[in-house]
Chains A and B, each alone.
Chain A
């Protein structure tokens, strides 16, 4: 191996990306079915940010007694009591809900008191309660943020490129969102306000990828006016393959510290990001570009008389 390593890469790649597109379409369809199936059958593990309730993080003196903790919470009036071990020391996250007509804060006090009595020396490190009214607002503001962000990005890409590029990007990003949520659902990781932030970051990164992809495609469309779209896509992807590999690896390497040393609180967030980086790279090549290939592009950007390839319609 020569150093710098980049010099070991071949000068040109000749990989037929488009040939794999039908297989990728099948793969995406399968993955989306799994994700949707998981939504239906496993559901999302919504945190208290979205469904309301209380969360208490504790550290017990003795080794964790998960069943005992759950029993004490239930006896003190907590519904849906859950105990999640933090996997380090004797820490655990406790969650429960209270009936709609009960005072959440008062009930939380009762549960705290019961825990302190049943487990002497228990340390309450964090306590959160979210009322039903607020949780509805949080869910709404999260949904609004997602929708508005996607719409503005669509407009921007339309403005900078062409409408079909924008739609290709949006479909690809929706694909990423569904798969990321599906992964969260399969792993039953908690979905909180933080997960919305992670999801938005994934969208941002994925859009970034789409824009870089389109940029090269647009450039080659102008450069090779008569080459079929399929070949231009292959050419563009091969040209930027080294960049795709290096940037993707960099992102995952950068996040690896947080993945392994960030602790259980950061894990759902970092997991979402790592998953999103991978899926965002994939969907640029195998969702956004195939849509553009099927739909066709307008190739009269600069000159009035274009030579249209067989599979492209005027836009």
Chain B
């Protein structure tokens, strides 16, 4: 693929997608919750920007709507809700570092390569643009997953979950020009409800273990015969 032959707007999509990926790394390595929430909000805003650009290049009108939806939900509403919850739970100053940040970052890099390798044989030559973006989105999804595995703090896990959703939106927008509107609305609704429920759970977890460190949720284990 020759980049200089692509229209400028498509180049812009690539750049924005790359920054979304970078923000995933930032989220992964971010120690302060508030900064992580900000990084997540920026990621959402970028996904909305990608959606807008794709809408403009393809003249797909319903995408403008979903861009606005993404912006409202992912860049404004959910970060705001998380912010409020963090303040309510008095976690603003909470910092928590990964056990071995370098290793986790390297794992994330490996995931990027893995997702490219996964997508590589999949799509024919003429669709390289799409394929490359799908690889990036898949990487964002997998890094979100990685974040949920390595973060033990409930809010950070939720951020990982939501950034997975960002990756999915990116894939849907860039590979397929957006899912049908009903589906997108349904997904957005589910995400919103999930966010509200997460909020409820933060309070419940806090009430039951007096902390949001999910590692301490360990009462339910496979009990061995000798215990």
* Bound pair (A, B): no
Q: Give the B-binding residues of A (Cβ under 8 A).
A: none
Q: Give the A-binding residues of B (Cβ under 8 A).
A: none
